[in-house]
């Protein structure tokens, strides 16, 4: 049977945080909040297992945002004086922290949730971290300097810290460490020039599987509007895939279903495992097993079946919980149908 996984995030329950938001406010504090985060993590682990996913994760339940959740444990970042900044090439504005000094980890970042999930499942465990280029695009810099040189210097500084946490996650029993790099689809030339190199620095020395997730964003309106401007063919992957094919990264997660990505671009990832997005995160409609099997069949024209993993296009964080649950179940049913059809 085709392996199944999610890109990373899942909706936070309404008793944990605000719903339908990328930067939700927590509904508790202190020890009560930490207990609620753990409860939500175990709840979503059970949902993933019940759905039949082969590869599970923590659903990013302990992070307010997929980038800022990692940054919260880094010295040299000022969260008290956030500033408004356009991110993803000014696609939308966000309130972001500022880099004000040398970067250093204040301690472990995700040990609690990684160890919690590992203790409660024997399935393959994937853990997600933001990629260095995407972090650089989601903070304001007051220390490393303007222009490309400053961005590169800051990216590699973050890559070193990501590497420290990734190596620790491997020791916690994580099977796959995935770095999320939506910025690769925005700054394509820079991604190929130095972004992949920074990604490899973040993954240096890992013996577990390594992955990178590159998508067209969560199903928020700003991303939907941006995708409407990209034309009949979305060829952003074409610039970065050759660099990734030459890299040491094991897996690449990409958007496929309901996108305008030419499927033949997957051929540029020869030798890599490909997590093919078969679930649309920008729609509440639940995919049918037939639709999912058809998407897998399309991908099989370009990816060997032993290297294909059926996945979601992106994270499901902004969705309603019941929609996300139904999409997880549909993902597994569609993968099972594809396994029968393309055995």
CA distance 326 to 328: 5
Token pair in block for residue 55: 């590869």
Res. 221: pLDDT tops 80: no
Three-state SS for 118? helix
Task: Give residues with Cβ within 8 angstroms of 63, minimum separation 6.
Answer: 69, 70
pTM of the model: 0.95
CA distance 231 to 197: 29
pLDDT at 224: 72
What are the Cα distances from residue 227, in Å, to 240, 259, 295? 18, 9, 20
CA distance 241 to 342: 26
Q: What number is the average pLDDT over the span 222-245? A: 82
pLDDT at 86: 81
Strand order, beta sheet including 3-4: 3-4, 308-312, 273-279, 251-254, 209-214, 176-180, 124-130, 55-56
What count of other Cβ atoms lies within 10 Å of the Cβ of residue 282? Answer: 20
pLDDT at 218: 67
Task: Give residues with Cβ within 8 angstroms of 50, minimum separation 6.
Answer: none
336 versus 220: the higher-pLDDT residue is: 336
Res. 182: pLDDT tops 70: yes
Q: What are residue 25's phi and psi, to 5 degrees?
A: -85, 140
121 versus 68: the higher-pLDDT residue is: 121
Whether the Cβ atoms of residue 210 and residue 251 lie closer than 8 Å to each other: yes
- Assign 229 a pLDDT band (cuts: 50, 70, 90): confident
């Amino acid at each position: 049977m085709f392996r199944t996984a999610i890109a990373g995030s899942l909706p936070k329950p309404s008793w944990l945080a605000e719903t339908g938001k990328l930067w939700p406010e927590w509904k508790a504090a202190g020890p009560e909040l930490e207990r609620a985060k753990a409860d939500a993590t175990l709840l979503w682990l059970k949902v993933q297992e019940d759905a039949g996913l082969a590869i599970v994760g923590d659903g990013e339940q302990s992070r307010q945002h997929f980038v800022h959740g990692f940054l919260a444990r880094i010295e040299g970042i000022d969260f008290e004086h956030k500033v408004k900044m356009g991110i993803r090439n000014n696609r939308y504005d966000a309130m972001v922290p500022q880099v004000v000094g040398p970067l250093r980890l204040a301690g472990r970042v995700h040990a609690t949730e990684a160890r919690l999930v590992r203790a409660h499942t024997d399935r393959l465990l994937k853990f997600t971290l933001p990629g260095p280029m995407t972090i650089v695009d989601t903070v304001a810099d007051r220390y490393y300097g303007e222009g490309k040189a400053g961005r590169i210097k800051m990216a590699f500084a973050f890559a070193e810290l990501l590497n420290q946490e990734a190596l620790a996650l491997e020791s916690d029993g994580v099977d796959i460490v995935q770095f999320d790099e939506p910025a690769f689809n925005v700054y394509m030339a820079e991604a190929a020039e130095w972004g992949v190199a920074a990604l490899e620095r973040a993954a240096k020395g890992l013996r577990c599987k390594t992955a990178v997730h590159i998508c067209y964003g969560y199903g928020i309106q700003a991303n939907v509007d941006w995708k409407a401007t990209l034309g009949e063919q979305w060829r952003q992957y074409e610039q970065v895939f050759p660099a990734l094919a030459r890299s040491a990264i094991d897996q690449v997660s990409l958007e496929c279903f309901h996108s305008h990505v030419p499927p033949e671009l997957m051929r540029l990832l020869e030798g890599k495992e490909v997590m093919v997005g078969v679930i649309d995160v920008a729609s509440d409609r639940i995919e049918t097993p037939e639709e999912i099997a058809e998407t897998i069949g399309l991908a099989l024209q370009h990816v060997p079946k032993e290297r294909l993993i059926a996945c979601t296009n992106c994270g499901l964080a902004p969705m309603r919980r019941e929609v996300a649950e139904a999409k997880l179940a549909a993902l597994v049913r569609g993968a099972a149908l594809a396994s029968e059809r393309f055995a």
